[in-house]
Amino acid sequence: MTRQFQHVIDGQSIAPDSGEWIDSVNPATGEVWARFARGNASDVAAAVAAAVTACGRPDWRDDSANRSAVLHAIADLLDQGFEQLIEVEVNDNGKRIREVRGQFAGLGGWYRHFAVALADLQVEALSLDQPGVSARLELMPYGVVGAITAWNSPLMIAAWKVAPALAGGNAVIIKPSEMASASTVMFAELLAPVVPKGLINVITGYGHEAGAAIVAADDVRKVTFTGSEIGGSKVAATAAEHVKPATLELGGKSPQIVFADADLENTVNGVLSGIFLSNGQSCVAGSRLIIQEPIRDLFLQRLQERVASLRFGDPLRDDTDIGPIANKPQFDKVLAMLDRAKQAGAKVFAGGHAVKVEGFENGYFIAPTILEAVATDSEIWQQEVFGPVLCVRSFATADEAIRLANDSNYGLAAGVWSGDADFASSVASRIDAGTVYINHYRSVSACAPVGGIKKSGYGRELGPNAIRDFMQEKAVWHGTAPLPNPFQR
Ligand code: TXE
């Protein structure tokens, strides 16, 4: 039976004003399993009105102890209730249940971190360079924040935006992807008993309709976006037109630089998890393997062996290694890029094609793919695939490796693998990316900023400034000496 997911506005489940719905296809079966409300400007206006009221209440805006208590309550409820969100997420985007369970078991932790961190938001005295005055720095919330998220990890991406935004005294309107909205709607409904009405609203629908209406709404004072480069640039343009800041977390083509002295098995594990977890549908996917010539053949052989042993299957089963690609447009996009790469002469070491899985014949499965790009200006080497595709090039010297790594329009993440920690550290300093991992990959922490440079976007999420990024500074001046007559002759 098709399940139905409505908007969540002012703590209530609300049907779409348009009366229209968007089908969601289960990517393992190819069948419609749910439908989402098709949001429009009228739905957005209702959510904005609720959010304005909610974040204007003094017990929210001015009471950090209350905000902390609400965030703790959200964290507790997620710790107790996350299991009930897992299956809808797997049905929606095909992510393996083990990965979804791992992400959801950690959801409460993001909210708990910011429940504690907001205690650091103290009013600061400013030391001025003038006599007769003193001043202090206050932080004030923006008010209503629009949080636009993608289909690959909807609730983790939402947590990175919602938790610090609430900690800073804002209210949020989340617009999940039209490809995978179910878990976000259920998340808001689950939290309704502990979140004051109107602080967390969810409007589902298309980006150009519901998403664009959120960005354009006058009372939405800041936007935070995760998604494609095209979507991000449209959001930024609309935000600029309406004079509001936007933070953009876009794609990547992250390099993994492997030096000949790296620990072989550890590095193989890191490279495999970097590209093939979540089928490569991760913004930090380590999709370019830049490997030193002496170990190239052995390393590729180890990767091929490991990839050959992976089991395709039902993403709801714990023993499945490879589930489907998240949706049909993404499946078609990945296969088209693979076809073009092969036509351009790429040498395929593993995969490179769709896979029929018994019992899931209409599912969107693609074999984990390893290929050697012929040219550094080829599409497959330069463009984000957002799929299970690892491109390989070899190098002789560290300078060459760094040049290859930095020859990209993106700059989100990178990995450096070497047995010499000091050397690896010096290489890391020369990589153009928002995050560089040494002999490690993929970890995220509320304490470390995440974000990109170049076409990977701008602004950061998480890290020590996460709450401040959802607040604005106010300088409050006090005169402490009598003022002279300004027109005294
Ligand atoms: O992204 P979109 P899609 C990349 C990946 C993928 C491609 C397309 O390469 O192949 O993006 O994915 C909303 N105003 N990433 O189509 O369209 C949209 O409704 C306001 C990288 O999903 O950018 C959704 O909620 N909102 C990535 C969100 O933006 C708009 C994660 C993302 O959708 C909008 C996902 C508009 N004009 C895809 N247009 C990552 N960095 O992790 C779209 N949206």
Per-residue pLDDT of the chain (489 residues), as tens digits, is 799 999 999 999 999 999 999 999 999 999 999 999 999 999 999 999 999 999 999 999 999 999 999 999 999 999 999 999 999 999 999 999 999 999 999 999 999 999 999 998 888 999 999 999 999 999 999 999 999 999 999 999 999 999 999 999 999 999 999 999 999 999 999 999 999 999 999 999 999 999 999 999 999 999 999 999 999 999 999 999 999 999 999 999 999 999 999 999 999 999 999 999 999 999 999 999 999 999 999 999 999 999 999 999 999 999 999 999 999 999 999 999 999 999 999 999 999 999 999 999 999 999 999 999 889 999 999 999 999 999 999 999 999 999 999 999 999 999 999 999 999 999 999 999 999 999 999 999 999 999 999 999 999 999 999 999 999 999 999 999 999 999 998
Span from the CA of 19 to the centroid of ligand 1 (angstroms):
24
Residue nearest to atom 35 of ligand 1 (CA): 227
Residue nearest to atom 30 of ligand 1 (CA): 207
Span from the CA of 465 to the centroid of ligand 1 (angstroms):
25
Active site residues: 249, 283
CB 341 near ligand 1, within 6 Å? no
Question: Looking at residue 161, what is its pLDDT?
Answer: 98
Span from the CA of 16 to the centroid of ligand 1 (angstroms):
22
Q: Could you give the C-alpha distances from 68 to 107, 224, 435, in angstroms and in order? A: 16, 22, 29
Residue nearest to atom 42 of ligand 1 (CA): 283
Residue at token pair 């005169």: 479
Q: Could you give the C-alpha distances from 474 to 139, 457, 464, in angstroms and in order? A: 6, 27, 20
Question: Looking at residue 286, what is its pLDDT?
Answer: 98
Question: Looking at residue 489, what is its pLDDT?
Answer: 86
CB 410 near ligand 1, within 6 Å? no
CB 220 near ligand 1, within 6 Å? no
| Length in residues, the chain | 489
CB 304 near ligand 1, within 6 Å? no
Span from the CA of 251 to the centroid of ligand 1 (angstroms):
9
Q: Tell me how far apart the alpha carbons of residues 27 and 314 are, in angstroms, rounded to a whole number.
A: 10
Span from the CA of 66 to the centroid of ligand 1 (angstroms):
34
Contact 255, 286 (CB under 8 A): yes
Q: How many CB atoms lie within 10 A of CB 35?
A: 19
Residue type, 89: E
Sequence-ordered list of residues with C-beta below 8 angstroms from that of 123, at least 6 positions apart, any chain: 136, 137, 138, 139
CB 251 near ligand 1, within 6 Å? yes
Q: How many CB atoms lie within 10 A of CB 378?
A: 16
Residue 211 is classified by DSSP as: I
Q: In terms of pTM, does the model score above 0.85?
A: yes
Strands 360-366 and 354-357: antiparallel
CB 207 near ligand 1, within 6 Å? yes
Span from the CA of 252 to the centroid of ligand 1 (angstroms):
13
Contact 148, 214 (CB under 8 A): yes
CB 383 near ligand 1, within 6 Å? no
Q: How many CB atoms lie within 10 A of CB 125?
A: 10
CB 211 near ligand 1, within 6 Å? yes
Span from the CA of 389 to the centroid of ligand 1 (angstroms):
19
Ligand 1 atom closest to residue 249's alpha carbon, by position in its atom list: 41
Contact 212, 231 (CB under 8 A): no
Residue nearest to atom 27 of ligand 1 (CA): 227
Residue 461 is classified by DSSP as: B
CB 177 near ligand 1, within 6 Å? yes
User: 124: which strand partners?
Assistant: 137
- Which residue out of 103, 174, 228, 455 has the highest number of ligand 1 atoms within 8 Å of its CB and is therefore the one to mutate? 228
Contact 257, 416 (CB under 8 A): yes
Question: Looking at residue 300, what is its pLDDT?
Answer: 98
Q: Tell me how far apart the alpha carbons of residues 420 and 262 are, in angstroms, rounded to a whole number.
A: 8
CB 215 near ligand 1, within 6 Å? yes
Residue nearest to atom 17 of ligand 1 (CA): 231
Contact 44, 238 (CB under 8 A): no
- Which residue out of 177, 277, 327, 383 has the highest number of ligand 1 atoms within 8 Å of its CB and is therefore the one to mutate? 177
